[in-house]
Amino acid sequence: MKRHVEGKEEVPTKKRFMPRVQLYVYDLSQGMAAMMSVALTGQHIAGIWHTSVVAFGKETYFGQGISIEVPESTPHGHLVERIDMGETQIPEEVYWEYIDSLREFWTADKYHLFDNNCNSFSNEVCQFLVGREIPKHITGLPKEFLSTPFGQQIAPMIEQMFGPSRVAAEHRPQNELLSTLATTTFAGPQHEHDKLNTPNLRALSKDFILFMHSSDLELIFRKLNGWLNEAGISAETEPVLDAVKAVLKAKYDEGTIKLGPLPANWWTAFEKCIATLKPDQLFPLIDILRLLVLDETVAKSLISQSPSPLILLLARFQKASHSQYNETAQLPKALHMMLLRLTCNLFAHSDTMAHILALHLTIPPSTPHRTVTTATLIDALLSPEESVRQCSSSLAFNMAVEAVLGRPKSEDSVYEEWCLEMVAAVVKALEAEKGDEIALRLMSALGHLLYRAPEEVVSLASVLGTADILNAKAAEFRKAGVEREKLIRDLAQEICLLL
């Protein structure tokens, strides 16, 4: 409608369209929970809720990874309710980039019925789009169920299927919590830390973080071949790379576990590319390599060579090795991310993990493998690029888990020195970190490093002011979402108990 202002006719402005966001709610029990819950649990449970987020004409949900479907075409049965979450100011292209960025973290192997499920995902996505959490009766369903005697009875079976649960640990009777978790989660003789009430620390995942999602192979190889053509070496490398692409494409198209045979000279071609291309042109090659090393046969073929090509590759791009560019140059972001993802994927196999953390020397330089890998981590932890720090926090977590699993039974000064270096690096990174997801992963790494650690390691953490840093982080991320804020706060409190 037109209005008059000071005698002049005002032309109405067109209101900017703001897409609406809806939460779709399904009952996976199809009504059975409402009918039978009182008899089974002693209290009424209205449904076993599955949720998805509908925005920009698509329905997005988490289960076997992240799925995107036409609304109401998902396999979750009859839609029970549509909850209007409000309008979003996030542009559509930014939203889909955000969803793509989540794929490496919301993978099928990270699904947990209690701790990390479809509703956890919907809650995070809705907070991103509209700044609102989904209803508490949905996110609180695991706690509601576990508060019942029946829920406590079957929780161990669920944990056997999905791994230790933080939510289940919170509802476990205290005497059972201290006796059972102390013996099953952290094996070994009694330690002072075993006497502490630290359910979240004990329930921390020990599954390595791997970057298994396939890239757009056509795009990656096309980009790489374009740069090789510019460098004048496409004639000798392109046939080999085409054969590698065919092997990878067959694996991901058919969903097989193992790769088919690679060309005999595939690594020679890769070395030619590494020696010829500029740093900002190398990320497609490293992206391809991080997929290849997920295959155990390929990974073992690389670590059988001397000197280790993997360690030489990591060493080349550390700050101490940047003289071919300049002392202060930052690695190109894409290359840095791919190097970190490659290193994380080397934790997929016990042999490659042992290789990159071994005390063997690589010539040149005459440096232990473990030193090179640790320097790769430290280089990245304080990167100005959030995406690089995200990847480095995954590597920190993997190395911390291995520090626990590989902890020597007797005193080992070399091992303790490594743990001291790791703790100092993680604490420093945590103090500077502004992202709640990265901070949470760093705290999880720190928890692994400190729980049942040698006295010198714990003492260093105390001297570094870790307790003050943790308390500051717990206060800083109060707006990170209720579940994440609680986990950050609880982890901070429990790690402080160790100090």
Domain CATH code at residue 479: 1.25.10.10
C-alpha–C-alpha distance, residues 245 and 248, integer Å: 5
Q: What percent of the chain has pLDDT over 90?
A: 34
Q: What is the mean pLDDT of residues 351-371?
A: 82
288 domain residue, yes or no: no
453 domain residue, yes or no: yes
How distant, in Å, are the alpha carbons of 386, 435, 449 from that of 432? 12, 9, 19
Per-residue pLDDT band at 429 (split at 50, 70, 90): very high
> Nearest to residue 223, comparing CAs of 119, 135, 331, 334?
334
Q: What is the mean pLDDT of residues 412-426?
A: 89
Own/partner pairs for 290-295, CB < 8 Å, 24+ apart? 290/211, 290/338, 290/341, 290/342, 290/345, 291/214, 291/215, 291/248, 292/244, 292/248, 292/259, 292/262, 293/342, 293/345, 293/346, 293/348, 293/352, 294/210, 294/212, 294/345, 294/348, 295/258, 295/259
pLDDT digits (tens, 9 = 90+) for 51-82: 999 999 999 998 888 999 998 888 877 888 99
Domains in the chain: how many in total?
A: 3
Q: Does 122 lie in the same domain as 159?
A: no
Task: State residue 215 phi and psi, 5-degree precision.
Answer: -75, 175
Q: What is the mean pLDDT of residues 232-258?
A: 88
Q: What percent of the chain has pLDDT over 70?
A: 82
Q: Does 150 lie in the same domain as 128?
A: no
256 domain residue, yes or no: no
Q: Does 72 lie in the same domain as 167?
A: no
Q: Does 327 lie in the same domain as 355?
A: yes
Q: Does 33 lie in the same domain as 162?
A: no
What CATH number corresponds to the domain at position 56? 3.90.1720.30
Per-residue pLDDT band at 102 (split at 50, 70, 90): confident
Q: What is the mean pLDDT of residues 466-482?
A: 78
Contact 132, 23 (CB under 8 A): no
pLDDT at position 364 is 59
Lowest mean pLDDT among 55-64, 379-388, 409-418, 433-442: 409-418
pLDDT at position 18 is 74
Q: Does 412 lie in the same domain as 427?
A: yes
Per-residue pLDDT band at 395 (split at 50, 70, 90): very high
97 domain residue, yes or no: yes
Beta strand 367-368 pairing with 20-27: unpaired
Average pLDDT, the chain: 81
Q: Which positions are catalytic?
A: 50, 118
Q: Does 467 lie in the same domain as 353?
A: yes
248 domain residue, yes or no: no
**What angle (nearest 5°) sits at the alpha carbon of residue 221, between those of residues 219 and 225?**
120
pLDDT at position 327 is 38
**What are the residues facing 116 on neighbouring strands?**
112
Instruction: Give, as one character, the DSSP assignment of residue 417.
Output: H
Task: State residue 439 phi and psi, 5-degree precision.
Answer: -60, -40
C-alpha–C-alpha distance, residues 200 and 202, integer Å: 5
Q: Does 107 lie in the same domain as 164?
A: no
pLDDT digits (tens, 9 = 90+) for 251-265: 887 777 788 899 999
Beta strand 65-69 pairing with 58-63: antiparallel
Instruction: Give, as one character, the DSSP assignment of residue 116.
Output: B
Judged against a pLDDT cut of 60, whether residue 391 lies above it is answered with yes
Per-residue pLDDT band at 482 (split at 50, 70, 90): low
pLDDT at position 184 is 39
- Among 205-219, 299-313, 337-351, which range has the highest average pLDDT? 337-351
Q: Does 473 lie in the same domain as 350?
A: yes
Q: What is the mean pLDDT of residues 415-428?
A: 92
pLDDT at position 183 is 39
Q: Does 473 lie in the same domain as 369?
A: yes
Per-residue pLDDT band at 11 (split at 50, 70, 90): very low
280 domain residue, yes or no: no
pLDDT at position 328 is 43
pLDDT digits (tens, 9 = 90+) for 79-100: 889 999 999 888 888 889 888 8
List the domain range (segments joined by +) for residue 26: 20-139
Residue that finishes a domain, picked among 202, 219, 234? 202
Q: Does 116 lie in the same domain as 164?
A: no
Judged against a pLDDT cut of 70, whether residue 292 lies above it is answered with yes
pLDDT at position 376 is 92
Q: What is the mean pLDDT of residues 378-392?
A: 91
Per-residue pLDDT band at 1 (split at 50, 70, 90): very low
Contact 209, 397 (CB under 8 A): yes
C-alpha–C-alpha distance, residues 406 and 202, integer Å: 17
6 domain residue, yes or no: no
Q: Does 152 lie in the same domain as 123?
A: no
Judged against a pLDDT cut of 80, whether residue 493 lies above it is answered with yes
Contact 69, 99 (CB under 8 A): no
Contact 220, 203 (CB under 8 A): no
Per-residue pLDDT band at 163 (split at 50, 70, 90): low
Residue that finishes a domain, picked among 165, 185, 202? 202
219 domain residue, yes or no: no
pLDDT digits (tens, 9 = 90+) for 26-44: 887 777 766 766 666 666 7
- Among 73-77, 235-239, 476-480, which range has the highest average pLDDT? 235-239
